[in-house]
């Protein structure tokens, strides 16, 4: 079980990471913080490209960074979108990638530039995920 304190810490790490995002085209910074199975936290940011299709999302950036460190099991995720007045969740592509490395009941917290946050799970973000059915 992930504690409220740990989710709050993850959200703060995501917020700090968002400050490092490269978003000169949309001016929409995103920071992600992954809680790894070993207790460490790995962050990522969105890195835009003038060809929007080549933009790298913060969530996938965090996952690939963690994998290069030999980590591939993640317990929770926090996202920060400080340029939005409302919380913004992961895009569809990130939801799919997250489901590859996280269980359906892994907690996800996301927030914008207010105190409002949304708490959910990977399974709620990507219901009826056939990958997890195949692993049974």
Could you confirm whether 5 is annotated as catalytic? Answer: no
Q: C-alpha angle with apex 94: 105 to 101, nearest 5 degrees? A: 45
Which two tokens mark 66? 């963690």
Residue among 4, 37, 59, 100 flagged as catalytic: 59
In Å, how far are 71, 78, 81, 110, 125 from 89, measured between CA atoms?
Answer: 23, 10, 9, 6, 9
What's the CA gap between 65 and 43, in Å, rounded? 8
Residues noted as catalytic: 59
């Amino acid at each position: 079980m992930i504690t409220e304190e740990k989710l709050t810490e993850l959200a703060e790490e995501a917020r700090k990471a968002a400050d490092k995002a490269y978003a000169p085209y949309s001016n929409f910074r995103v920071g992600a913080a992954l809680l790894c199975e070993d207790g460490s936290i790995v962050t990522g940011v969105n890195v835009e490209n003038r060809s929007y299709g080549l933009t790298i999302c913060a969530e996938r950036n965090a996952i690939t960074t963690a994998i290069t460190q030999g980590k591939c099991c993640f317990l929770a995720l926090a996202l920060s979108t400080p340029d939005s007045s409302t919380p913004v969740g992961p895009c569809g592509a990130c939801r799919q990638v997250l489901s590859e490395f996280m269980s359906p009941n892994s907690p996800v917290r996301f927030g914008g530039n207010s105190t409002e946050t949304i708490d959910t799970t990977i399974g709620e973000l990507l219901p009826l995920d056939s990958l997890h059915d195949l692993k049974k």
